[in-house]
Amino acid sequence: MKFHEAASLKFHMIAGGPKPVAPLSHAVETDGFVFVTGQMPDTPAAPGQLPDGIEAQTRAVMENLRLVLAGLELGLEDVVMARIYLTRVKQDYAAVNATYRSYFAEGRLPARTCVGVTGLAYDALIEIDLVCRRPCTKVLTDS
């Protein structure tokens, strides 16, 4: 029996990125796929302080995701899958969709799952994680 060589893993912490709420990496990369940890609606400058309302929290989460992606030399155009976690699905689903959609080019929406949860860190209303695919021309090397 032959075993395939194990894929290399890269664990990324983005300088100046959002402060993690738990022991985690901002992203983990393997074989051109980048798995971005769910982001909260606070800011790197004010960890744990959340804006009011679902639209503001959704924008804050998306900006944190952009920050992490930028640190990896990626952008929202590289997202292939998003998972959204909401504490108030019935109340906030439409507003989240409208805000989320504004971050992506028309006709370029990633695959997505949205689930209701009973709670999130910091009592946030929303958290979003991503799966990205690094284009062949954007190979990030260890330096």
Domain count, the chain: 1
- Largest separation between any pair of C-alpha atoms in the chain: 57
Q: Looking at residue 12, what is its pLDDT? A: 96
Q: With a cut of 70, say whether residue 2 has pLDDT above it.
A: no
Question: Would you say residue 3 has pLDDT above 80?
Answer: no
Residue 143, pLDDT > 70, answer no
Is position 55 within any domain? yes
Residue 38 has pLDDT above 70, yes or no: yes
Residue 84 lies in a domain: yes
Residue 33 belongs to a domain: yes
Q: Is residue 96 part of a domain?
A: yes
E-assigned strand segments in 1-143: 10-12, 27-30, 33-39, 79-86, 111-116, 126-133
Specify the pLDDT at position 1.
44
Average the pLDDT over 4-28 and give the result: 88
Mean pLDDT of the chain: 92
pLDDT in tens, 45-60: 999 999 999 999 999 9
Is 2 contained in some domain? no
* Structural domain for 37, as ranges: 28-133
Percent of the chain whose pLDDT exceeds 70: 91
Q: Which residues contact 93 (CB under 8 A, 6 or more apart)?
A: 86, 114
| Cα within 13 Å of Cα(92), Cβ side | 24
Whether residue 62 lies inside any domain: the answer is: yes
**What digits encode the pLDDT tens for the residues 55-101?**
999 999 999 999 999 999 999 999 999 999 999 999 999 999 999 99
H or E segment to which residue 59 belongs = helix 54-71
Q: Domain holding 73: CATH number? A: 3.30.1330.40
